[in-house]
Amino acid sequence: MFAPRQRAAACAATLATCLAITPAAAASGSASFLVVHGIPGRDVGKTIDPALPVDVLINGSLCLLKGLTFGDIAGPFDVPAATYTVAISLANPISPCSNAAVISASVTLNSGDFGAVVAELSTKGEPTAGVYPIDVSSVGSGKVRFVTAHAADAPAVTVTAESLGAKSEKVSFKIKPGDTKVSEVPFRPAFALTISAGGKTVAGPIDAGNAGDQSLIFAAAVGNAATGSVTILTKLLRSVF
Instruction: Say how many domains are in the chain.
Output: 2
Same domain, 19 and 121: yes
Assess whether pLDDT exceeds 70 at residue 30: yes
Same domain, 128 and 66: yes
Same domain, 94 and 163: no
CATH of the domain at 177: 2.60.40.4150
Average the pLDDT over 20-36 and give the result: 67
Range of the domain at 69: 1-133
- pLDDT at position 61, please? 93
Same domain, 6 and 123: yes
Same domain, 119 and 151: no
- pLDDT at position 7, please? 37
Q: What is the DSSP letter of 15?
A: H
Question: pLDDT by residue (tens digit) across 191-205?
Answer: 999 999 888 898 988
Q: Which of the listed residues 133, 167, 186 is the one where a domain comes to its end?
A: 133
Model pTM? 0.87
Same domain, 109 and 184: no
Q: What pLDDT band is residue 29 in, cutting at 50, 70 and 90? A: confident
Same domain, 110 and 142: no
Q: What pLDDT band is residue 21 in, cutting at 50, 70 and 90? A: very low
Tell me how far the alpha carbon of residue 183 is from its chain's centroid: 17
- pLDDT at position 209, please? 81
- Strands of 143-150's sheet, edge to edge? 180-186, 143-150, 213-222, 231-240
- pLDDT at position 129, please? 92
Dist. CA 165–CA 162, nearest whole Å: 9
Same domain, 169 and 216: yes
Question: pLDDT by residue (tens digit) across 33-48?
Answer: 999 999 999 888 888 8
Same domain, 3 and 78: yes
Same domain, 120 and 11: yes
Burial profile 64-96: b = 16 or more Cβ within 10 angstroms, e = fewer:
bbbebebebbbbbbebbbbbbebbbbebbeeeb
Same domain, 55 and 106: yes
Q: Which of the listed residues 90, 114, 133 is the one where a domain comes to its end?
A: 133
Same domain, 72 and 126: yes
Q: Which of the listed residues 112, 133, 154 is the one where a domain comes to its end?
A: 133
Question: pLDDT by residue (tens digit) across 146-190?
Answer: 999 999 999 999 999 998 876 778 889 899 999 999 999 888 888
Q: Provide the greatest CA pair distance for the chain.
A: 56
CATH of the domain at 127: 2.60.40
13 C-beta neighbours (distance < 10 Å), count? 7
Question: pLDDT by residue (tens digit) across 88-143?
Answer: 999 999 999 999 999 998 999 999 999 999 999 887 888 999 999 999 999 999 99
Q: 3-state class of 226 per DSSP?
A: helix
What share of the chain in percent tops pLDDT 90?
A: 61
